Structure 1
Amino acid sequence: MTFLVLLLMLGIAWTATWRTRLQYDGWWLALLRETERHMPRRSWLALTVLLVVPLILLMLTLTILQPVMYGWLVLPVHVIVLVYSLGRHDPRAALEGFRDSWQRGDLEAAALRAEQTLGLQAETPEALLNRVQDQLLWRGYQGFFAVIFWYVLLGPLMTLAYRLVVLTAEQTTHPVLRSHALQLAHTLDWIPVRILTGSFAVVGDFLAASRAVLADLFNWDIPAARLLSEAGRASTNVPLLSSGENGAQSLDVFWQLLVRSAVLWYVVVACWTLLRAA
């Protein structure tokens, strides 16, 4: 069922205009505000509540539906949870305005687009482009690859837990709670981000990617986003400083790297499913 769920999720994510309706966060944001108000000094307990309450509800739903119709009613629940756990933005769509402005050479418009749609600023155009490139890789990883990894490994409960940890780090107004959520997110990202960097090496420049990340591959303290950025640049041979049309094309190169890695992951999951069924 895992591979079928992944295919259905992919179809919904790429073709359905109502994906955002499944990603409604109002219910969880209300729980977050209530938890912050009642547990301002017990941040670890607050984080536990924010994760455990939705996970218990999901577990009860799956338990109730499992005996019905030979478990087929569980399938749409898995799909809904998986779609909900995806990133809240289409990485490539968010970059269209910036990319078009950059390709025209209108750096002021590109900077404005980056600030408005991506929340990014930088002192120089080249530095801004580098930040946009890094965010494309990071959004692709955090919004898709990490979700797929945890679903295949541990199912919908872990998938939902990952998205809620990320939402906590992004939405909370309490610095201590955000710090705890970021620590937990760093732990959850450690394995999948390294598998994705390995995927970059397989579908890109293997030798360059290996040289770029091998020294830090088992370094616990290195930020996941930094490791991903170094692997992506090495795998595509995109220079740190790009300008003009080359800068716009570099975004396409990074996107294709993500697409090829996604195909590789789907092929691996398909082979694993066939081996289990044999």
Structure 2
Amino acid sequence: MDLLTLIIAIAFVQVWGAENPLHKDGWFVQWCDGLQARLKASAIREYTWLVAVLVPVLCVWLLAEAVGAVSAWLLLPISVVVMLYSLGRGEFTNIVSEYTKACYVEDWPSAMERAQRLGVHTDGVDEGDWSALHEQVLTEAGYRGFERSFVIIFWFLITGPVVALLYRLLFIYCQQRPSEDLPAKCLWAMEWPVTRLLGLSFAFTGNFVGCYNRLKECLICFKRSSQEVLTQSILGALSVDENLTQSCEVTRKELDLLSKLYKRTLWFWLASAALIIIVVH
């Protein structure tokens, strides 16, 4: 049932692309704002984020339990909807492709606009400093590809759609309130095992030796951010020489290869999940 849910969800994503009609987060933002206003003078105000995330998750869990008690097949559409909501928002592949085209012709304004759409903070980047921009875009693109799908798929296959939803709501909360430290740490903790597993997967779908050599220092590290670990794994999988000077052409190729690496790894995960489910059952 889990594999069927995942396949249906991914099929819908392929059809909808960036226009996922379930990606409406206004209700959650309003809920967080209202909750923060009500608990501002409360003794539990420091845990507003926990209440904000857990209440909707618990409601979905209770609904799933009630429906699942009646029929497992009735639970299927609920699981698909939760998964579709939990998967990442907006465009990704198209923006990366547009950035690489702008990079190729050295169109700085267009490249900056695409980088900002990816979520790159470009305030500290000097005009014409392609090297600094490339580095930030590669890091952000790697993380966006990760949080959009792989971390959701991991928690879905391990624990079910409810925890996948928990991650997405926590991610949205952290995006809205980046200054709050505790929810950010919890988000990092949920990403910690997935970044390592994805890095190991890159070793099989990319350059094994290069990826492992870069990843081995991160495997049991509890200080590096998710972005740092992913960047090291990606550069290793793409056989990028760490001593190679960043240039427009080099980074354009890296980003082209990054999209292909993520596609191969997604299919690798789906095939591995199907094999494990068949063997277990």
Q: Structure 1 length as normaliser, TM-score?
A: 0.91
1:110 aligns with 2:100: no
Question: Is the partner of 1:88 in helix, strand or coil?
Answer: coil
Tell me, yes or no, if the aligned pair for 2:199 and 2:230 is still in contact at 8 Å. Answer: yes
With over 3 angstroms needed to count, the CA separation of the structure-2 counterparts of 1:40 and 1:74, relative to structure 1, is: same
State the alpha-carbon separation in 2 of the partners of residues 116 and 260 from structure 1. 24
With over 3 angstroms needed to count, the CA separation of the structure-2 counterparts of 1:118 and 1:222, relative to structure 1, is: closer
CA deviations on 1:24-64 (whole Å, 9 max, x unpaired) are: 11111111101221223745421221122111210121122
Pick aligned residue for 1:162 from 144, 161, 167: 167
Letter in 2 for 1:140: G
Letter in 2 for 1:82: M
With over 3 angstroms needed to count, the CA separation of the structure-2 counterparts of 1:211 and 1:96, relative to structure 1, is: closer
Pick aligned residue for 1:48 from 47, 50, 58: 50
Pairing of 1:122-271 with structure 2 (within 5 A): 122-123=125-126, 124-172=129-177, 175=179, 178-239=180-241, 241-271=245-275
Letter in 2 for 1:95: V
State the alpha-carbon separation in 2 of the partners of residues 71 and 200 from structure 1. 34
Partner of 1:275: 279
Pairing of 1:12-31 with structure 2 (within 5 A): 12-16=12-16, 19-31=19-31
Question: RMSD of the TM alignment (CA)?
Answer: 1.9
Which runs of no fewer than 5 residues in structure 2 stay unpaired? Answer: none
State the alpha-carbon separation in 1 of the partners of residues 215 and 18 from structure 2. 39
Tell me, yes or no, if the aligned pair for 2:202 and 2:261 is still in contact at 8 Å. Answer: yes
Q: Structure 2 length as normaliser, TM-score?
A: 0.90
Tell me, yes or no, if the aligned pair for 2:131 and 2:248 is still in contact at 8 Å. Answer: no
Question: Is the partner of 1:268 in helix, strand or coil?
Answer: helix
Moved more, 14-23 or 101-110: 14-23
Cα deviation, residue 143, structure 1? 1.0
Which runs of no fewer than 5 residues in structure 1 stay unpaired? Answer: none
State the alpha-carbon separation in 2 of the partners of residues 184 and 244 from structure 1. 36
CA deviations on 1:164-192 (whole Å, 9 max, x unpaired) are: 1111100137x3xx211111011111111
Tell me, yes or no, if the aligned pair for 2:95 and 2:118 is still in contact at 8 Å. Answer: yes
Tell me, yes or no, if the aligned pair for 1:150 and 1:159 is still in contact at 8 Å. Answer: yes
With over 3 angstroms needed to count, the CA separation of the structure-2 counterparts of 1:18 and 1:106, relative to structure 1, is: closer
Pairing of 1:66-77 with structure 2 (within 5 A): 66-68=68-70, 70-77=71-78
Letter in 1 for 2:11: G
1:93 aligns with 2:94: yes
With over 3 angstroms needed to count, the CA separation of the structure-2 counterparts of 1:43 and 1:132, relative to structure 1, is: farther
Cα deviation, residue 81, structure 1? 0.6
More helix by share: 1
The percentage of aligned residue pairs carrying the same residue is 23
Letter in 1 for 2:150: F
Tell me, yes or no, if the aligned pair for 1:32 and 1:172 is still in contact at 8 Å. Answer: no
Moved more, 37-46 or 24-33: 37-46
Letter in 1 for 2:153: I
State the alpha-carbon separation in 2 of the partners of residues 239 and 118 from structure 1. 26
Moved more, 140-149 or 207-216: 207-216
CA deviations on 1:168-225 (whole Å, 9 max, x unpaired) are: 100137x3xx211111011111111100000111111111111112122101111111
